[in-house]
Structure formats: structure tokens, C-alpha cells
Amino acid sequence: MLVAYCPRGGALKAVPVSPDGEVPEGTVWLDLSVPANSEDKVVERAVGVEIPTREEMAEIEASSRLYVEQGARYMTLTVLCGSQTETPELAPVTFILTDKALVTVRYAEPRAFGVLAERLARSCPTTLTGETIMVELLDTIVDRIADVLEQCGAGIDRLSRRTFETRSKSGNANQVYRAILTQLGRKERLTSHARESLSSLARFLAFLGADVEARPIGAAGRSAIKSMNRDVSGLSDYAAFLVNKLQFLLDATIGMVGLEQNNIIKIFAVLSVVLMPPTLIASIYGMNFQHMPELAYTYGYPLALCAMVVSGILPYLFFKWRRWL
């Protein structure tokens, strides 16, 4: 799908462009979402640049992601998508900045695009340019990552409380720890995706602010790039802190699971020791020897039972006294 954005009456109007149509005059932003070959041709005729394929966008080399061609800056950014779902993912988005307009090529639906389009549809400056839209898009992406990391940090705090406040008396501690491990895995995946997106943003901003063989970025754009660089650096540090906290919680949860298992093993060990003396007494008096003086006693049987009970209680009291139970 190809959408052309044109400033009209103090707002940014979205105009869908058909595969056999033409780009409206005054377009400052061309958004290609899962484009067809015919839509690529429409943009190439209107702007005079070649649109990269999906395979070219997936390249990870810096030279394939950040370069200048025909006076236009080609910049591919890894963007976090689906952060509110259980399956967040990373998707490449290519920004092509030309003298005429900004072209974005994507095969996913990052939330930042919809947020910016809705905001500019309500109000936008009359001097809106492709460079301004790109800076606004990048700023929105940074804000989205910040929101994701804030929510992730709050979720990690809740998991921390659950980890250390779970008691074995609840009877379902193992199920609780299993749920915690599952949530930790999801938080780790989301945080790792956010860190990778921030790393891509840092390279993107460095190339955008560099002097290359293309139209230089204006003073306002350079100021915004410096501010975003500071934000990206701070968010990267915070994401690294969250990763360390997740690793600590993972180790702590595994340790708690080990303690629960040790408690179960301890119960079996105590039962074995407690039942050992009564078993010994019962095995002695269960022998079928002819000459056993105790067998002739009138109260031999109840005395043997009492001896077994006492021999089982004494080890239990000893364990309690030593605080092993």
C-alpha cells in the first residue's frame, strides 16, 4: 500500500495512491507498506530514487543499511514492533531522504508511524518537509522504546516481589515459579529487542548527522539529532540495567526452585531416619528364632510397640531441637 502525505490547511492529509496513479503535488512523505512492484515504480517515477527490496533491507552490514545514492540518503533502521503482544519482533524500516520528500519502506506496522500520522493529521506546520517528518518519526520511535522499557521495568519489579514473597505454604509454589520463569523469558526477549533497536538507532543517528555527499541536515535537525543521541544513550544504559536485573531474578528463581526441591528431599530424608529405629525393632522381633526370651513376656508385644513409637519420636525431637526442620 502506498500513502502520500501532503500538507493541506494546517494538517497533514493522507492520500492513498493506486498502483497506476500519480503522486499528488506537494507530497512530503511517501509511505510504502508491504509495497507491490507497481507501487515501487510509482515512487521511483515521482522521487527519482530506487526502492530497495525486502531482501536488501534485511542485510545487516552497515554499508548495506547506511549509504548515499543519487544524492539521497538510504538509512535502514531496526524497529521494535508488537511490544504489547506476547510475540514482539524486530522489523527493518528503510528511510530514503531526498530533496523532494521522505520515503519510508516497511513490511511491518510499527506503532510510531500511526501515532505520528494521527498527530500531524490534527495539526502540522505549513513549512513541513521530509526532513522534519523523519526527525519526528525518529523521536516518536525513541519515545515508544522508552515507554516499552518503562513498562518492562515495572513488570520486572512485580516479578521480583512475586519471586521473593512466594511461600511454600501456598502449596502451588512450583506453579508460581514456573509462571515467573515464563514471564522472565518474555521480558528478556522484549528488552533484548529494545536494546537491538536502540543500537540500530545509534548507528542511524550517527550517519544522519555525518557530512556525506547529500543535502546536509538543517540546524534544527542537527539539534534534534543531538537530543535523540542523549536519549538513546540513556535508554541503552537503562536497558542494560534491566538485563542485569533479569539475570539476577532468573538466578534467584532457579535458586528458589532448588530450595523447594531440597525441602521435599529433606522430608523424605527425615522420614527415613525417623522410621529407621522402629523398623530395626520390628525386624529384630520378627525373627523366628526359638530361644528369644522377650517372646515369653506377657507384655512383650505392647512393650515392643512402645519402643518403636519412642524410637521414632526421639529423632524427630532431636531434629527440631537442632532446627533442621
Residues 184 and 289 in one domain: no
**Do both 77 and 200 map to the same domain?**
yes
Query: In this predicted structure, what is the pLDDT of residue 236?
Result: 93
* Domain extent for 184: 2-260
Residues 197 and 164 in one domain: yes
Do 154 and 286 have their domain in common?
A: no
Terminal alpha carbon distance of the chain: 68
| pLDDT at 137 (0 to 100) | 92
CATH of the domain at 283: 1.20.58.340
Q: Are both 218 and 296 inside the same structural domain?
A: no
- Asked if 105 contacts 40 with a C-beta cutoff of 8 angstroms, the reply is no
Question: CA–CA separation, 243 vs 232, rounded Å?
Answer: 16
Q: Which of 260, 284, 310 is the last residue of a domain?
A: 260
What does the angle CA 18 – CA 102 – CA 116 come to, to the nearest 5 degrees? Answer: 85
3-class secondary-structure state, position 149:
helix
- In the chain, pLDDT over 90 holds for what percent of residues? 21
Q: Are 241 and 269 contained in the same domain?
A: no
| Residues 306 and 294 sit within 8 Å (Cβ to Cβ) | no
For position 319, what pLDDT does the model report?
73
The whole-chain average pLDDT of the chain stands at 84
Residue ranges of the chain whose pLDDT lies below 50: 168-170
Q: Detail the DSSP E strand segments found in the chain.
A: 2-8, 11-17, 29-33, 66-69, 72-81, 89-97, 102-106
- In this structure, the answer to whether residues 248 and 316 fall within a common structural domain is no
Task: Say if residue 206 is in the same domain as residue 291.
Answer: no
pLDDT at 273: 76
Output the pLDDT for position 138.
92
> Same domain, yes or no, for 218 and 271?
no
242 and 272 share one domain? no
Q: What pLDDT score was predicted for residue 201?
A: 92
Check: pTM over 0.85? Answer yes or no.
Answer: no
Pick the last residue of a domain from 260, 285, 310.
260
- Contact in structure between 270 and 325 (CB atoms under 8 Å): yes
Cell readout for 9 is: 490547511
Q: DSSP assignment of 310-322, as one string? A: HHHHHHHHHHHHT
Q: What is the pLDDT of residue 291?
A: 65
**pLDDT score recorded for residue 125:** 79
Task: Write out pLDDT tens, residues 240-263.
Answer: 999 999 999 888 888 877 767 777
Separation of alpha carbons 325 and 318, rounded Å: 10
Same domain, 302 and 249: no
DSSP-derived letter for residue 59 is: -
Do 117 and 105 share a structural domain?
yes
Looking up residue 156, the CATH number of its domain turns out to be 3.30.460.20
Q: Total structural domains in the chain?
A: 2
